Amino acid sequence: MKQHRTLFGTDGIRGIANRDPVTPENAFRLGRALTLFLKSTLPSSSLQEPLRVVVGRDTRRSGTMLEAALVAGLTSTGTDVLLTGVLPTPGVALLTREEQAAAGVMISASHNPAEDNGLKLFNGDGIKFDDAAELKIETLLFQEPHDAERLIGADIGTTKILSDATIRYLAACKKTVLSLNLTGCTIALDMANGAASQTTPKILQELGATIHLFHATPDGMNINRNCGSTHGEEISRLVRETGAQIGIAHDGDADRLLLCDEEGNLVDGDEILAMIGLAALRAGTLKKKTLVATVMSNFGLEETLAQAGGKVLRTPVGDRYVMEVMLQHDLNIGGEQSGHLIFRDHSSTGDGLVAALQILQLMHESQQPLSLLRRCLKKYPQTQKNIKVKEKKSLEELRSIIPLIGQIEKELEGQGRLLLRYSGTEPLLRLLVEGKDPKKVQTYCTELVAALERELGVASSI
């Protein structure tokens, strides 16, 4: 019988901080389990010196609490810890590689509210662990430690602060756009009161841009509060008020990007992939003429790439699944509609700052505003709904809606699609309906939401 992970979701362990599973006790156990996993899987040549793990966090108040517990778990089993302090998630992945550490851990709940927190794990290459590795770590986490594992004296690990972590991350980002000069460019920034508050503004100013900075004063509890990449209405408002040529919004740990053109219109991950993908096709730099996207990406993305001689490979939702396919097929550009964008030539995970710099470079080279560049993608009408659930029942158990789903899928065949899945990070059932006829798409969505709410006994969709 196949085992399933119970703690790890699509992006690490996540939940309300100081409540199970995101407790200091579990963070300690995770540190210990990660060490045991690494010692059991790494070649013996890697174990001659103490293992090293890079640990970073975003701006949540609970971050230092979880950091202390995680560090205790790691050092108690002989692992040395390198602390970055507050840093975007891609910065932790970068420093894991640069320091030749055995693993990296980012303490963040990404776009979730301040009350939440999470733990994301990276291997020594700065790539998120796969499902199999997370399952093994989870199994070790639930095991009680043996006395032999409780090290003493000089065998206990050490802790070091990487005081130059931010400088090194920004230097690496700047190397991705060596010729970019943003003099004369005005940019509105929404930093979600998160990890990008001291990074994205700094690099854009160094490149010559005039910036209007908002939501960059984190206090531990205002991260993502009515701001950031999941509150697009805010960056749209800020662009209109400031007259900026482009708006840039990140989420709490800055691995996502949401753009806004100079007219105040939002530009999502699919549009960014289309713009960058087509430019790379023209330049001959898109490996195997193929982009990687998830099942949530608009079908128009496939049509757009196909018309230019390229293609799109689909993956399950989650930027780590995008990265897995990129590695498997040796591809270099991929991402999600939500704004996780991976430029494998420059980064090993989703990086909101690197993605923003690639778009700014494209605007600079083409001398075209974002409102014109984005027109390359002709989207299919798409409606998405999130239904709050008390428990995540197997979709096969929702018997009353199966005939309705079958009927809608038959009517959409060849001209659209229907997707129904649970969120890996929140208590939500996500519904997506896409097709050429917007009226039919809306009708199908309304019918399905009503049926799902009856079946689940809830009346709350967002």
Q: Encode pLDDT of 203-245 as tens digits.
A: 999 999 999 999 999 999 999 999 999 999 999 999 999 999 9
pLDDT at 1 over 60: no
pLDDT at 44 over 70: no
Superfamily of domain 168-265: Alpha-D-Glucose-1,6-Bisphosphate, subunit A, domain 3 (3.40.120.10)
Assign domain 382-456 to a CATH class.
alpha beta
Fold of 269-376: Alpha-D-Glucose-1,6-Bisphosphate; Chain A, domain 3 (3.40.120)
For residue 146, the 8-state DSSP code is P
Q: Please give the Cα distance from 175 to 162 (Å, whole number).
A: 21
Q: List, by residue number, the catalytic residues.
A: 110
- Reference 124, options 69, 58, 52; nearest CA is 52
Is residue 87 within 8 Å of residue 165, measured between CB atoms? yes
pLDDT at 375 over 50: yes
Whole-prediction pTM:
0.89
* Those residues with Cβ within 8 angstroms of residue 86's Cβ, 6 or more apart along the chain or in another chain: 56, 57, 58, 59, 63, 195, 198
Helix and strand numbers (H, E) in the chain are 14, 19
Domains 8-163 and 168-265 equal at CATH topology level: yes
Bridge partners (DSSP) of residue 246 are: 187, 261
Q: Please give the Cα distance from 276 to 362 (Å, whole number).
A: 8
| Confidence bin at 461 (pLDDT 50/70/90) | low
pLDDT at 417: 86
pLDDT at 243: 98
pLDDT at 32: 96
Enter the CATH code of domain 8-163: 3.40.120.10
Helix (H) or strand (E) holding 387: strand 382-388
The domain spans of the chain are 8-163, 168-265, 269-376, 382-456
